[in-house]
Amino acid sequence: MITLVLTICLHFSFVEVIRDLCAVFEENKYMTYGEKVVDFVGEVVKEYGPRLAGSEAELRAGERIYKLMFEFCNEVRKDWFVSRPRGFTNYIWVVFFLYILGATFYFTGLWFAIFALTPRIVDIRSPAVLTL
C-alpha cells in the first residue's frame, strides 16, 4: 500500500504558517488558533472517516491537506512510501504466551525457576541426584 506524506518546505517562521492556516478558516473570528485546528481535524474525521495507514481514505485526506497547504506555502511536496499497517499484528500471540509464562513464574515463586527448570546431574562418587 502506498501512503501519502506531506513534506512542507517553508521559508518563513512557524508563527506565520499558523497565522496563514488560521486565515483560511475565518468562519469565527473569536476562535483561538487551537480551536480552529481542532475544528479542521474534526471536519477531516467526519468527511473521511477512520483512516488506516495506506487506505484510500487516508490518501483523500492527505490530498485535501495538500491542497490547503498549497494555497499559502512556498513549496509543498508529496513523498510516497510503502506502508504495512498490520505488520506487527501476528506477534501478539508470542507476546501473549510470554506474558502468561512470566505470570506463571511470578506466582509459582522462585523455587519453581530454581528447582524445576535446572538440569539434574548424577555425581560420579555417589548415586544421589544433585541439582546444579
- The model's pLDDT over 89-123, given as tens digits with 9 standing for 90+, comes to 778 888 999 999 888 878 887 776 677 666 665 55
Please say if the pLDDT value at position 45 is more than 60.
yes
Over residues 36-62, mean pLDDT: 84
What is the residue-averaged pLDDT of the chain?
Answer: 72
Q: Where are the domains of the chain?
A: 2-82, 89-131
> Cβ(21)–Cβ(65) under 8 Å?
no
Q: Residue 5's CB: how many other CB atoms inside 10 A?
A: 11
Residue 31 is predicted with a pLDDT of 67
Q: Which residue has the higher pLDDT, 1 or 24?
A: 24
- Residue 12 DSSP one-character state: S
Q: Which residue has the higher pLDDT, 98 or 132?
A: 98
Residue 98 is predicted with a pLDDT of 93
Residue 7 is predicted with a pLDDT of 39
Query: Whole-model pTM above 0.85?
Result: no
Q: Which residue has the higher pLDDT, 117 or 73?
A: 73
Instruction: Give 41-102 as a DSSP string.
Output: HHHHHHHH----TTSHHHHHHHHHHHHHHHTT-SEEEEEEEE--TTTTGGGHHHHHHHHHHH
